[in-house]
Amino acid sequence: MNKKIVAFMSLANIFEKQGYKLYVVGGAVRDYLLHKDPEDLDVVTDATPDEVKLFCLGDFTFAKLGCVKIKHQGVTFELTTLRKEKDYEDFRHPKEITFVKSLRTDCKRRDFTINAMYMDASFFIYDYVGGRKDLEKNILRMIGNADKRIKEDPLRILRAIRFCLMYKFAFSVDLLKAITDNIDLLKELKPQKIKQELKKIEGVSRQEMDALFSRLSIHEYLDMLE
């Protein structure tokens, strides 16, 4: 079994004994369902950083944001407390976060349905937005109003492009419209952020990238990879 999964199961047991839950979320769950070994494990918990501090050692630098780093069995986990977000600023960050206990509430802040599934230490999948069905149909769909979610954070345009290229997904109708209607918002992003996201595109030919970026009339952004 994957070393990171084993370490997660062990850490989840520690949290369970303290009365809290630990879940893998996002890309690792998606890759698990695609029978791929996850590279990174994003982990969420219903425990607040102050509660985690009572029974775990770690890096609590960003505790106010609900983020804690814990090293367990040689694996470093970034734990995020379940939360809801309100009103985005600077096209990137929410103005306000509130810690919650509900997976169903937490999933609403996530971007795509395929990235909003949770898995516990027993490998049970929690899916409140139809992510598993979209994964089976190879459809990339935004959670909530696609236009609003793109306006919150235009980097989601490039994330959508990356997932469609790497996993051979098709955009849902509303997501494609939201992307094309808001494509100019990419100009609001820092060039370094754009470059970082583009560099995450792996296993895709330049020809495939050229075709999609040309279709969306943003071919010039590929020059950042030169």
Binned at pLDDT 50, 70 and 90, residue 221 comes out as: confident
Binned at pLDDT 50, 70 and 90, residue 21 comes out as: very high
At 81 the three-state DSSP class reads strand
Q: Which two tokens stand for residue 216?
A: 């969306």
Q: Rounded to an integer, what distance in angstroms lies between the CA atom of residue 14 and that of residue 10? A: 7
Contacts of 200 (CB under 8 A, 6+ apart): 162
What domains are there in the chain, each with its CATH number? 3-129 (3.30.460.10), 138-225 (1.10.110.30)
- Given this model, what pLDDT does residue 50 score? 95
- Given this model, what pLDDT does residue 38 score? 78
Residue 90 pLDDT exceeds 60: no
- Given this model, what pLDDT does residue 160 score? 96
Distances (CA, A) of 223 to 62, 108, 144: 34, 34, 32
| Weakest mean pLDDT among 29-33, 53-57, 221-225 | 221-225
Q: Which two tokens stand for residue 121?
A: 């230490």
Binned at pLDDT 50, 70 and 90, residue 88 comes out as: low
Residue 91 pLDDT exceeds 60: no
Q: Which two tokens stand for residue 126?
A: 């929690």
- Given this model, what pLDDT does residue 123 score? 95
Average pLDDT over residues 86-113: 82
Q: What average pLDDT is seen over the chain? A: 92
Estimate the share of the chain in helix, then strand, then coil, as percent rounded to the nearest 5: 45, 20, 35
Bigger pLDDT: 38 vs 204:
204
| Weakest mean pLDDT among 37-41, 86-90, 106-110, 149-153 | 86-90
- Given this model, what pLDDT does residue 139 score? 97
Pick from 170, 148, 147: nearest CA to 160: 170
Residue 87 pLDDT exceeds 70: no
Average pLDDT over residues 96-102: 90
- Given this model, what pLDDT does residue 29 score? 95
